[in-house]
Chains A and B, each alone.
Chain A
Amino acid sequence: MTQTNEQTIIQQAQHDPQAFAILYDRYIDRIYAYTLRQTGNEALAQDATSATFEKALRHLRRYRWQGQTFCAWLYRIARNEAIAIHRKQRFLAPLSLGRLGEPNAEQVLDTQLQSDDVQLALARLPGRDQELLILRFYEDLSNAEIASILGCSVQSLYVRVHRALSRLRKELEAIENVSGEVVQGE
């Protein structure tokens, strides 16, 4: 869908429910997948996704195409909802942190069972770095959209991604060094 087409649909959606349904169908799976990555839990992802689209619907008539795509706008709402749910969960059950917080022992153990060192290294990063790399490499978003979601400039985004990847590399090297020692020990 080109930007012009989507702009047209959004304008229609501001007074036509069927046009809104088109937008919903287009983005529901992406937003669900994103919130699932963020929360690590299907029930929480459904809560966050529902809240995202309800909020998007409520504020749709205020939305204006001003350098931020509709997709980025939705993701931004989803991000905020996921953070809100995460905070609530921390209060209710402090031991079951999702991806948005620091990885806990349980989460690290889960990922240690994975054979992919990269995913293990990713799980060891601070939540902010994880989120950044997820948006950058797993969601089909442009750099401009990611910058819009995170509220930073594209240039800052490049700097942050550069740093996050450097930290990921260090974690990965540490993991691979340990694996190498284990293999040698065997």
Chain B
Amino acid sequence: MTQLKINENDDLAERLKTSSTPPPKAPVAYKAGLRARLLSQYNTLPARPARLWLTVSILVGLAVLGLTFVLLWSPLGIWPASAAEILQHANTALAAQTEGAALIYDRFVLDIQTGMVVQEGAAIELWHSPDGQQFRYQLTAADGSLLYFVQRSGDRFWRSFHNLPVGAEPVRQIYQLSLDQYRQSNLPDAFEGQNISDMTIGWLDINGEHGKACTDLFCLLGITGEEWQCQGKTCTQFRDGQPIAEALLLDDEQLADGQTVHVIEIHPSLGLDWRRVTQIDARTLALVEVADFDRGNLVDRLRLIERQALAATDIPNDFYSTFPAGIELVDMQAVPEPTPVSRTNRMWIISVSPEPGTAVDEQTEFVVEVGYDLVTLPEASLQVMLWPAFNWFGGSTENSDPVNITQGEGTVTVRFRVEPRSLDSGQWMLQTSLGTFSGNQLIFLATTDWSEYQWCILCGEKVTP
């Protein structure tokens, strides 16, 4: 088991612990006197503030830099500035903080509230080279448990795998792969959120290229800095001539601690009722916060706490070889690689009960036997899903409980009953999937063809299993 260690100094640590005598307790009279004095002061305490906001540390250097930008900015740009202009300047300010650094350290605090995953005060730490090709990213819960880990150093790659949404359970294992193995696995990067409509984008996005950390503010926000067209306070981003995202500059807000922030709302051009609200300090142009809302409900909030420029010597030589305590390192490089030509991830249905085509109801037990061959990953989640045949694109799906499977060939038997409260009567189709989680989203590695497995559910005719 690999542990984050000060092993070479363990003997010294032991000597330190045993070399000191226990400190004296506070004198009894002193303790009693202080206690009485504090309790007598209790009723003079100020009332709790009606509104409590989170505060963010602002680096001194940013104050100077931000002031410079404000002085240069006003005469040059259109005033008031558009959302795209503010983001561009904030991006420049962010980059300037660590210009010339060999290594950059970012620390964020993340709150998540997405049904299966509720985390408050989780810490994101990202050490990354300026080009984003060497990095360590770890997400740690407030209680210290590791929730997500991904790292790249040279030709080696490390990643925690998730058969539940990231954040739903602590990480116990980190897999070590070669970079080639990782790229051939087609596993999505940390939180595949280049597409702004992906709700997992509220997390720190490190998917610039496959296996590369984000290096700028736009990547962090899941948009690009190019091809914006602005009219007044609204800017539209285009890709291949099509509008894909809009950024709207809202009114400035003043936070409870007196900080004034520009507020920019970003949302997809089409479809989803989802928006990303970004706060940027009006004086220093520092990123303060990014919050995502799904249909008006807050789903996550990311606050930038600090950004540091580091020298290469600021981390130990074995930094990329040491891992959080209690985590098992699984070396996938020791596993023989499959023959590239013959094998890919696949799955197939061996048998289904009841017979497709029949009418079923909530009493019916479905029994689905599934064969699989998992090639590119050490583990994955297998599920059976029901899709509504009458509303393929807009309807909800029903999923069986996920079954964890490990690399290799095998069979799984899944049993389930339908839930009447969440199904409409009508024709439903069955599909099986192999996948793994990127943030909140299940990414499919393999699926079966659904077309031949259909039932009429809750259509009124009972079936004898």
Please encode chain B, from 115 to 159, with 1 for each CB lying within 8 Å of some chain A CB and 0 for all others: 000001111010100000000001010111000000000000000
Q: How far is the CA of A155 from the CA of B124 in the complex (A)?
A: 11
| Chain A positions within 8 Å of B321 at CB level | none
* Interface pair A165/B42, CB less than 8 Å apart: no
Q: How far is the CA of A49 from the CA of B46 in the complex (A)?
A: 21
Min Cβ gap A184→B in Å is 23
Minimal Cβ-Cβ distance residue in B for A143:
B144
- Give B33-57 interface residues, CB cut-off 8 Å to A: 34-35, 38-39, 41-43, 45-49, 52, 54
Minimal Cβ-Cβ distance residue in A for B142:
A67
Which listed segment binds B: A24-32, A76-84, A90-98, A102-110?
Answer: A24-32
| Chain B positions within 8 Å of A168 at CB level | 12, 16
* Interface pair A37/B23, CB less than 8 Å apart: yes
Min Cβ gap B41→A in Å is 6
Minimal Cβ-Cβ distance residue in A for B15:
A118
Q: A21-B35, A118-B19, A158-B4 are in contact. Are A46 and B144 (CB under 8 A)?
A: no
Which listed segment binds A: B24-32, B160-168, B366-374?
Answer: B24-32
| Chain B positions within 8 Å of A161 at CB level | 6
Q: How far is the CA of A158 from the CA of B319 in the complex (A)?
A: 10
| Chain A positions within 8 Å of B45 at CB level | 57-58, 60-61
Q: A138-B20, A158-B6, A169-B9 are in contact. Are A62 and B39 (CB under 8 A)?
A: no
Q: How far is the CA of A163 from the CA of B25 in the complex (A)?
A: 31
Kindly state whether residue A172 has any CB partner on chain B within 8 Å: yes
Report which of A58, A142, A154 forms a contact with B46, defined as CB distance below 8 A: A58
| Chain A positions within 8 Å of B43 at CB level | 17
| Chain A positions within 8 Å of B138 at CB level | 155
Interface of B, secondary structure class, is mixed
Min Cβ gap B295→A in Å is 26
Minimal Cβ-Cβ distance residue in A for B109:
A67
Min Cβ gap A146→B in Å is 12
Report which of B30, B47, B123, B315 forms a contact with A159, defined as CB distance below 8 A: B315
Please encode chain A, from 53 to 84, with 1 for each CB lying within 8 Å of some chain B CB and 0 for all others: 11001101110101100000000000000000
- On chain B, the number of residues with a Cβ less than 8 Å from chain A's Cβ atoms is 49
Kindly state whether residue A153 has any CB partner on chain B within 8 Å: yes
* Interface pair B9/A166, CB less than 8 Å apart: yes
Q: A21-B35, A46-B26, A143-B144 are in contact. Are A169 and B12 (CB under 8 A)?
A: yes
Kindly state whether residue B107 has any CB partner on chain A within 8 Å: yes
Q: How far is the CA of A147 from the CA of B355 in the complex (A)?
A: 60
Kindly state whether residue B13 has any CB partner on chain A within 8 Å: yes
| Chain A positions within 8 Å of B13 at CB level | 137, 165
Min Cβ gap A162→B in Å is 5
Report which of B20, B25, B47 forms a contact with A29, defined as CB distance below 8 A: B25
| Chain B positions within 8 Å of A122 at CB level | 16
Min Cβ gap A44→B in Å is 13
Kindly state whether residue B17 has any CB partner on chain A within 8 Å: yes
| Chain A positions within 8 Å of B39 at CB level | 17, 20-21
Give the 8 A-B residue pairs with the shortest CB-CB distance, closest first: A67-B121, A32-B26, A33-B23, A67-B142, A165-B9, A61-B48, A118-B19, A17-B42
Supply 28 A–B pairs (Cβ within 8 Å), ascending by A.
A17-B39, A17-B42, A25-B35, A28-B31, A37-B23, A49-B26, A53-B38, A54-B41, A57-B42, A57-B45, A58-B45, A61-B45, A61-B47, A61-B49, A62-B48, A62-B52, A64-B52, A66-B54, A66-B142, A67-B142, A122-B16, A137-B13, A138-B16, A144-B144, A153-B125, A159-B314, A165-B6, A172-B12
